[in-house]
Amino acid sequence: MKLFKNINIDKLKSGLSKTREKVVNKISETISGKAKLDEATLEELEEILISSDIGFDTTERIIERTRISLKSEGDRSTLNVFTIIQNELVKSLNDHIELKDEFEEIEKYKPYVILIVGVNGAGKTTTVGKLAHNYRKAGLKVLIGSADTFRAAANEQLEIWAKRAGVEIIQSVSGSDPSSVAFDTIQTAKNENADVVIIDTAGRLHTKNNLMEELKKIKRVMSKVVDYAPNETFLVLDGNTGQNMVFQANEFSKFTELTGLIVTKLDGTAKGGAIFQVCSEQKIPIKYIGVGEGIEDLQTFEPKEFVKALFAHNGTLDE
């Protein structure tokens, strides 16, 4: 069971409109009007997928599977081809889906500690606010900590989110040690019997060694309060960065063990196709996606729902 499942298909559909234009509409133009799908059309499809941020290797896999599926299908109508492609896309997302039961995990650990990391401006603070809101709505006591002591306005920004989400915040003093804020937050959560702790951190580039080392320190200090902390380390990725997301995930993984990915700003970007590449090339699951700046705009990442929303009204999916 998922602790909270937040999917608003209409919002997701409208958020993905630019990606749809780039991926689905082109596929549609290529295959519609063709009596049957031949090898030349498959090659055109391949080109479309490669140029849609899906990446070369992932595209190859999808096309190969589509080719095999088509061989065993008598029906090569446009609609059926659309269905086959969608099923293959879902499979490529499902391959790495994690089966951990979040609800059970949260019951086991008190507090359950989530560390949020990522490059500058990826959407970390916004995501902390949205996550806090969802957990609180699910009936949990949530505490958030502002371990971004780097940017002057970071604390105020998180404070606004804490108010919106209706959760308590442990604030930081500009220039103080982020590890100490993380420590205080978990300590307070322990004293107050809170269920979930979410720690926001400063944006950092993987090329800045000292900042990446700081992440390790934050983790070390966290585990001094509760030895299992953090339960989760979520890397927040800006969907606008397309295939660079794969690179960012690889680089952060070198310094810290990531347990989940959150892709933000999928509304308004045409590079959403990169999700397929991230899923195929990372062993780390995508947990949530951001489709807007509002508090309700964090959605649970469900491969089938994602593909359905991306393709909107074209074809159907196997149940």
Ligand X SMILES: Nc1nc2c(ncn2[C@@H]2O[C@H](COP(=O)(O)OP(=O)(O)OP(=O)(O)O)[C@@H](O)[C@H]2O)c(=O)[nH]1
Query: Taking CB under 6 A as the rule, does residue 291 contact ligand X?
Result: yes
Number of chain positions touching ligand X (CB under 6 A): 21
Query: Taking CB under 6 A as the rule, does residue 148 contact ligand X?
Result: yes
Task: Give the CA dihedral 197, 199, 200, 206, nearest 10 degrees.
Answer: -140
Q: Which does 178 bind (CB under 5 to 8 A by kind): Mg ion, ligand X, none?
A: none
Task: Please identify, using beta-carbon distances, which residue of 211 and 317 lies nearer to ligand X.
Answer: 211
Task: Please identify, using beta-carbon distances, which residue of 279 and 298 lies nearer to ligand X.
Answer: 298
Task: Please identify, using beta-carbon distances, which residue of 84 and 202 lies nearer to ligand X.
Answer: 202
Task: Please identify, using beta-carbon distances, which residue of 102 and 267 lies nearer to ligand X.
Answer: 267
Structure tokens at 99: 């089966």
Residue 149: φ, ψ to 5°: -100, 10
Q: Interface with Mg ion by CB under 5 A: which residues?
A: 124-125
Query: Taking CB under 6 A as the rule, does residue 11 contact ligand X?
Result: no
* Cα(302)–Cα(93) distance, integer angstroms: 9
* Cα(280)–Cα(93) distance, integer angstroms: 7
The binding track of 238-277 with respect to ligand X, each residue x by CB under 6 A or -, is --------------------------xx-xx---------
Binder of ligand X out of 32, 121, 166, 257 (CB under 6 A): 121
Contact status, residue 24 vs residue 52, Cβ threshold 8 Å? no
Angstrom CA distances, 225 to 62, 186, 200, 221, stand at 46, 7, 17, 7
Q: How far is the CB of 176 from Mg ion (least distance, A)?
A: 16
Q: How far is the CB of 252 from Mg ion (least distance, A)?
A: 16
Q: Which does 120 bind (CB under 5 to 8 A by kind): Mg ion, ligand X, none?
A: ligand X
Q: How far is the CB of 249 from ligand X (least distance, A)?
A: 15
Task: Please identify, using beta-carbon distances, which residue of 122 and 226 lies nearer to ligand X.
Answer: 122
**How many angstroms from the chain centroid is the CA of residue 110?**
24
- Choices 94-102, 119-127, 249-257, 303-311; region in contact with ligand X by CB under 6 A: 119-127
Task: Please identify, using beta-carbon distances, which residue of 54 and 116 lies nearer to Mg ion.
Answer: 116
Query: Taking CB under 6 A as the rule, does residue 55 contact ligand X?
Result: no
Site for ligand X in 156-215 (CB under 6 A): 203
Which residues of the chain form contacts with ligand X (CB under 6 A)? 118, 120-126, 148, 151, 154, 203, 264-265, 267-268, 290-293, 297
